[in-house]
Amino acid sequence: MQDAIPMVELWRGEFLESVHRGHAVVCDERGEIVEAWGDPQKIILPRSSCKMVQALPLVESGAADALGLTAEQLALSCASHNAAAIHTDRVALWLRDLGLSDDDFRCGPQSPGDMDARLAMVRAGEEPCQIHNNCSGKHSGFLSLNQHIRGGPEYIEADHPLQKMIRAAFEECTDETSPGYGIDGCSAPNFATSLHGLARAAARFASADGDDARSRAMRRLREAMMLHPELVAGEGRACTELMRAAKGKAAIKGGAEAMYVAILPEKRLGVALKIEDGTSRGSECAIASILVRLGVVEPDDPLVLKRRNAEIRNRNGIMTGYVHPAAGF
């Protein structure tokens, strides 16, 4: 088992102040490792970085077509969104189309990540609902599939037919038997795998070119993400901005505790990344650095510089430090 390696450094003046270590794997369409840092066999919980895998049964089952789901809705089903109006308006319509209400969600309420939405809610004296949960798009996808398979209302329980479908798809994509699961922030089970397994799943999404239901579902989901990057996260967020910088060359998804997945269709490669300490400052810099290395984003693109070579400014606007990739990474 190899130790996590330094991937990201924070400098203040002439002093190295903090370091983020991590593990990462780049995998090809055969499922083989092309390049790895740290321990590729490290067992991780992908958290939201595997939402496109969790959305596979929605599409493969025919539920998405039966309900006439759009690319926007498929992007939302893979999203950890900001709960800006562009997200919650669409989720509200989706719920209405399903004939369901906020009470049918099982994700729990969450204050919007979007500052305008959050402040508007404070000014209006309103409390957040489940629709504002960053996972409400994924849960709308869950509710859609659940309606299609006529499952019971507790769709987040690990032995619910819907979660069994997701586990099966997850194990097939990672080509590993999951050693178990943790309960995610939105209460759904989140299945464990090795970092290699997660990169393998991403590579399958990247290289899916068959006419079988899975390949078609993978293409639809990755294309939906790249077509609507603002729906997958939100304005100012790393996923959204790095997808814009990649200009159709990458579908990118972050997860809690500093997880990242990147699907690179042109290169037929998949990337999985975990920063050991769980800090998004670290994972955003590290994934941007890997994307530069793989040639899918330009190092001098302002959307890339913002993550890979971020300036730290203090409360007077003075630049006091910067974040950048560690030497040798």
Three-class SS state of 17 = strand
**150 φ, ψ to 5°?**
55, 45
Is residue 328 part of the contact set for its own copies (CB under 8 A)?
no
- Choose the binding region for its own copies from 13-21, 81-89, 196-204, 290-298 (rule: CB under 8 A): 13-21
Q: How far is the CB of 135 from its own copies (least distance, A)?
A: 9
Instruction: Report CA dihedral (169, 174, 179, 181) to the nearest 10 degrees.
Output: -60
- Interactions with its own copies, residue window 19-38 (CB under 8 A): 19-21
Tokens of 250: 């990458």
Is residue 181 part of the contact set for its own copies (CB under 8 A)?
yes
Is residue 82 part of the contact set for its own copies (CB under 8 A)?
no
Tokens of 198: 């997660």
Is residue 68 part of the contact set for its own copies (CB under 8 A)?
no
C-alpha dist (Å) from residue 319 to 281, 308, 312 = 17, 16, 6
Locus of tokens 């809610």:
121
C-alpha dist (Å) from residue 161 to 22, 101, 103 = 35, 22, 20
Is residue 279 part of the contact set for its own copies (CB under 8 A)?
yes
Q: How many CB atoms lie within 10 A of CB 159?
A: 9
Binding-site member from 74, 76, 79, 192 for its own copies (CB under 8 A): 192
Tokens of 116: 């305008």
Q: How far is the CB of 15 from its own copies (least distance, A)?
A: 6
Residue 73 or 194 with smaller CB distance to its own copies: 194
Q: Any idea what the Cα angle at residue 215 is, between residues 257 and 41, rounded to 5°? A: 35
Is residue 51 part of the contact set for its own copies (CB under 8 A)?
no
Is residue 316 part of the contact set for its own copies (CB under 8 A)?
yes
Is residue 122 part of the contact set for its own copies (CB under 8 A)?
yes
Strand partners, 255: 259
- Choose the binding region for its own copies from 86-94, 117-125, 240-248, 300-308 (rule: CB under 8 A): 117-125
- Choose the binding region for its own copies from 32-40, 65-73, 186-194, 226-234 (rule: CB under 8 A): 186-194
Is residue 184 part of the contact set for its own copies (CB under 8 A)?
yes
**321 with 10: CB under 8 angstroms?**
yes
Is residue 322 part of the contact set for its own copies (CB under 8 A)?
no
Instruction: Report CA dihedral (168, 169, 171, 174) to the nearest 10 degrees.
Output: 180
Residue 77 or 110 with smaller CB distance to its own copies: 110
Is residue 318 part of the contact set for its own copies (CB under 8 A)?
yes
- Interactions with its own copies, residue window 95-114 (CB under 8 A): 106-110
Residue 133 or 174 with smaller CB distance to its own copies: 133
Burial 51-79 (b: 16+ CB within 10 A, else e): bbbbbbbbbbbebbeebebebbbbbbbbb
Residue 47 or 220 with smaller CB distance to its own copies: 47
How many residues belong to the site for its own copies (CB under 8 A)?
47
Q: Which residues bind its own copies (CB under 8 A)?
A: 4, 10, 12-15, 17-21, 43-45, 106-110, 119, 122-123, 133, 180-187, 190, 192, 257-258, 276-279, 282, 314-318, 320-321
